[in-house]
Structure 1
């Protein structure tokens, strides 16, 4: 128990009491002693399974009631009581549940305090107010705990859903890269979250002597972007059959996205048809940057041949390139070049890195760029993706 001089907040607190509740210091000390003994008896008579652990909690509640109870008409004191009671009430609710804690505080403690309510300086109305404060403290403790548990359950459910979404999205990416005569192809996606809005793929159609490859970057990242990634994969992949050109695949894909997706969601995409026998490629660039053709130490930017997908109905152009040995096509997402605005790697640094490794394999070029990006950013700030197509002979 605190010393008697601190029981009801000291002389300054006593000055705020109504005249009827002002007593001599001797009478106040006597009142405190009686009330303290009463509370001690209440605490000692608690019939709880784990009484020893609850004694400090009960004593803390008792001390705050003795200290602040007579000042309840003062709003400041009432607010202080709410604050002071919250922690011990939380412990009582944790151990006894809401109903048990309310019964203990309302039916037991208040019933025993009622006989000395006048000596403590407050009447039946204030006693009812004290009961309300105690009940509110327990209710707030209960609802906070319930909210915390619900939040934890929701977060765990979300974590499981995201884990499943990540596994599904990983299955959308190439498990193996097809072996294409005269060429090496390598790509990678590193999402900034569990799932992301970047995508790459490569598929070989030997009956047509065509290998398709694509790199797509959906605006935003997270679950919404991941859902659109799946749509882009299946829409663009499905339109290959029966299409006369890479541009036609893109136009059909764009038509669906314009009709079925929100206008604020756009997809930049690089899509290519690679012809191994003739060592050539036709490229469609739907608003993506950077997309480079590297030859003999020089880098040529391949400009957009149409706008981002989903923006508007339009036609797409193509760019055809005849490869020579050592040529490569490189494209990456802005999660590598512009992830932090002005404080980013930038296209120039990435271009220099690609040039420095241009005589290496497609896999080595990919890894060099990714390692440099991770060294620069520490971890993906935005989804990172890239694709490298290299002519080896």
Structure 2
């Protein structure tokens, strides 16, 4: 009786020491090895394995199995899979007499499994997060009820430690992702103009905001010194986020490389389209409008599936109805892009470019979009305030219309005022 009591105290001390070690360990990989070595030592097993439940794939996996390679198995398959699915302990005297046992690993390794004690790791929410499987009691006998008690006590501590370590790893991965996104955002913003250029005869105002850290909207100003003109560009890659930002950066590089050698905006779009067709996936595309403005107010543009420029004229107080546009970029090679010449703009006239995030902003109350007509109406009514103030008023109107809810798409608004 005294010997049994001393043994129990020793076991409790061992579990307490192991529990303290598990609690202190935050690295998931080291924790996994610590758990299985503790299990083997505690119940005097020849080897142990720790399986992790992957709910997304409905399977168990392990890279922590003493003297074995990485193993994956479906939930409900084999002894470990059955324990994971049912959440109940299995204490098997002779594995080869149990139909749930899969002898393939034994056949490949030459090892002979006899006794198996397999237990679920259940977290504080009652979810099975893993399975401990100890194999072959070293004395050649079966695992005892006392072994079940000891391993059960250890599994309770191990489940909590494992859950904490996984949450910590997820948090660190999340923080790393946020850092990478912030870096990507910084790089992308560095590719966009930091301020409007000083061009004789024109004043510009710009608002640009991605709906995520990075986005697929693009705007640029590319001056042509030889003809006293500037190419004003607005583009929109389908989708948003990192993939759209990468395509936007590619398109920008092509545009910058080709612009000075292109005699007209339509030719520029043809060359960019030829290059993008080779790089873009079938489900991706890009819209773009290129407006070439000179200091005297002459404007010509080409559009690849993008909303044409809105032109407000102070002389009559109306907006021109420009509707001409051609095929989206990246859809089909060999496409031609026409060039459209607008009547010259005079002092106080406005040219407005935007992406669909502006006019497709949705009211959370009615489900209706803000719409191009609201944009034209606001331009007509507020044109006299100038480009910068008008840009601000448009964005305030959209924010009010959407009840200040988070934007669903990238937004770019660019206004050019003839001075």
TM-score, normalised to structure 2, is 0.63
Conserved 8 A contact 1:290-1:347:
no
SS in 1 for 2:247: helix
2:165 alignment counterpart? 146
1:120 alignment counterpart? none
Q: Is 1:309 aligned to residue 329 of structure 2?
A: yes
2:256 alignment counterpart? 237
Conserved 8 A contact 1:86-1:138:
no
2:369 alignment counterpart? 344
Q: Distance in 2 between matches of 1:290 and 1:127?
A: 79
Higher helix share: 1
Q: Distance in 1 between matches of 2:88 and 2:331?
A: 60
Q: CA 1:133–1:212 in 2, change beyond 3 Å: closer, same or farther?
A: same
1:358 alignment counterpart? 383
TM-score, normalised to structure 1, is 0.67
Q: Distance in 1 between matches of 2:330 and 2:125?
A: 57
Q: In terms of mean alpha carbon deviation, does 197-206 or 295-304 score higher?
A: 295-304
1:175 alignment counterpart? 194
Q: CA 1:191–1:43 in 2, change beyond 3 Å: closer, same or farther?
A: same
Q: CA deviation at 1:78?
A: 5.3
Q: Distance in 1 between matches of 2:408 and 2:125?
A: 43
SS in 2 for 1:390: strand
1:127-149 CA distance string (max 9 Å, x none): 44444444443443333222212
Q: CA 1:269–1:301 in 2, change beyond 3 Å: closer, same or farther?
A: farther
Q: Which has the larger radius of gyration?
A: 1
Q: CA deviation at 1:188?
A: 2.1
Q: CA deviation at 1:373?
A: 1.8
Q: Is 1:326 aligned to residue 344 of structure 2?
A: no
Q: Is 1:298 aligned to residue 295 of structure 2?
A: no
Higher strand share: 2
1:383 alignment counterpart? 410
1:201-252 CA distance string (max 9 Å, x none): 1132333211111111111111111111111112112111221211111110
1:286 alignment counterpart? 304
Conserved 8 A contact 2:15-2:154:
no
Q: CA 1:42–1:142 in 2, change beyond 3 Å: closer, same or farther?
A: closer
2:274 alignment counterpart? 255
Q: Distance in 1 between matches of 2:172 and 2:349?
A: 53
Conserved 8 A contact 1:290-1:301:
no
Unmatched 5+ stretches in structure 1: 1-37, 55-74, 90-101, 107-122
Conserved 8 A contact 2:87-2:120:
no
Q: CA deviation at 1:371?
A: 2.0
1:17 alignment counterpart? none
Conserved 8 A contact 1:288-1:304:
no
SS in 2 for 1:226: helix
Q: Distance in 2 between matches of 1:292 and 1:88?
A: 58
1:268 alignment counterpart? 287
Unmatched 5+ stretches in structure 2: 1-6, 24-84, 90-118, 127-131, 135-141
Q: Distance in 2 between matches of 1:144 and 1:226?
A: 35
Conserved 8 A contact 1:267-1:308:
yes
Count residues with an aligned counterpart.
Answer: 302
1:226 alignment counterpart? 245
1:71 alignment counterpart? none
Conserved 8 A contact 2:307-2:325:
no
